[in-house]
Amino acid sequence: MKVYPLCLPCFLNQVRKAAEVAGLSREKTIEIEREAAKFLYKDLQPEKSPGHNATFIHRIFKKMSGVEDPYKTLKDKYNSIALRLEPHLRKEFYEKAEDRLAAAIKLAALGNVIDFAVPNAFDLEEEIRNFFKTPFAYFDEAILERFLVPGKTVLYVADNAGEIVFDKFLMEELKERGLKVVLAVRGGPILNDATVEDAVKTGANEIADELITTGKDYIGVDFEFASEEFKEAWEKAFFVISKGQANFETLDGVDRKDIFFILKAKCKPVAEELRCNVGDLIFLYNKHLLEMKEENGEG
């Protein structure tokens, strides 16, 4: 996926939000935003993904603010809320499901949807019940079934802290089907993305057969910047599960691997790439998407 015009104000908005979370002054925030704007004017690479360009925007923020992990407190909070919800989700939505694979996929998607800022547990439970009634724009479970070959390896590329708790159900289900699960998280703090620390705090590392990182503080996946262990895991994997928008943005168009995207389309550029509406829920096989693009003369 390439940069859309709408991505540029979003980049600057990300800087403002990070500054707000970090408690920076108005003057310092403007100073950093001006430097980010210079990057957009001089160094933006529109042929690269939004995640690629946003990575450098956030590195500017970290360097100028001196705050390496502005979302640390929020990530810890999200992990705690998700862990409190986990037993309820397991009992009510996973163990009681007639189709546990479908339930596990939906729970993984739920993590990309839920508003962890909602303080009331009752509101969260209502939000979850409503979620399970919401249809997906794409739900390629039948295609995934073909890849569930015992003994094969799946590379599971995680997204955010908090959300990683909801990934545990799908990782468990994959292991129940006899697959080996390699869990990949970010190699350094960036936005509210899950890191090794988050995987350990939530117990996600205990379910995975192996825990690796995608590289440094990179938003999404770019093989130019990926760690050697990630590139090796990528090559060995039978297929990949990609969580969230940033991973989709950077892996969209990759056709040399079988990838299943799980996310909510949260903005117009991503919705346009996915041929769906903003707010739609997605469980989509990458070659299904490529076929749709080819049918429209874009392949």
Residue 244 belongs to what domain range? Answer: 72-295
Q: Are residues 140 and 281 located together in one domain of the fold?
A: yes
In this prediction, what percent of the chain has a pLDDT beyond 90? 83
Say if 61 falls within a structural domain: yes
In a domain, 128, yes or no: yes
The answer to whether residue 2 is domain-embedded is: no
Q: How far is CA 91 from CA 14, 85, 96, 112, 169, in A?
A: 37, 10, 7, 20, 12
Confidence (pLDDT) at 224? 87
Of 7-11, 49-53, 85-89, 252-256, the poorest mean pLDDT is in 252-256
- Residue of 293, 289, 264, 295 whose CA lies nearest to 143: 289
Does a structural domain hold residue 1? Answer: no
Burial 106-135 (b: 16+ CB within 10 A, else e): bbbbbbbbbebeeeeeeebeeebeebeeee
Q: Is residue 246 a part of any domain in this protein?
A: yes
If asked whether residues 271 and 209 sit together in one domain, one would say: yes
Condensed to tens digits (0 to 9), the pLDDT of residues 90-135 reads 999 999 999 999 999 999 998 888 755 544 555 667 778 888 888 9
Per-residue pLDDT, 123? 64
Mention every residue, 6+ apart, whose C-beta is less than 8 A from residue 251.
157, 220, 221, 240, 242, 259, 261, 286
Out of 32, 48, 65, a domain closes at 65
Same domain, 108 and 244: yes
Mean pLDDT of the residues in the chain: 92
Q: Which of 65, 85, 110 is the last residue of a domain?
A: 65
Q: Looking at residue 119, what is its pLDDT?
A: 46
How far out from the chain centre does Cα 254 lie? 16
**DSSP label at 217?**
S
Choosing from 65, 87, 107, the residue where a domain stops is 65
pLDDT of residue 113: 82
We report the CATH number of the domain holding residue 145 as 3.40.50.10880
- What is residue 115's predicted lDDT score, i.e. its pLDDT? 56
Who has greater pLDDT, 279 or 153?
A: 153
Residue 111 lies in a domain: yes
Checking if the pLDDT of 49 tops 70, the result is: yes
Per the CB < 8 A criterion, the answer to whether 174 and 119 are in contact is no
- Does some domain include residue 232? yes
Q: How far apart are the first and last CA of the chain?
A: 13
Cβ atoms of residues 174 and 144 within 8 Å: no
Q: Supply the pLDDT for residue 216.
A: 87
Whether residues 98 and 58 fall in one domain: no
Q: Are residues 22 and 50 in the same domain?
A: yes
161-213 per-position pLDDT tens digit: 999 999 999 999 999 999 999 999 999 999 999 999 999 999 999 999 999 99
Same structural domain, 163 and 268: yes
Considering its fold, how many domains does the chain have in total?
A: 2
Q: Measure the CA–CA gap between 177 and 258, rounded to whole angstroms.
A: 18
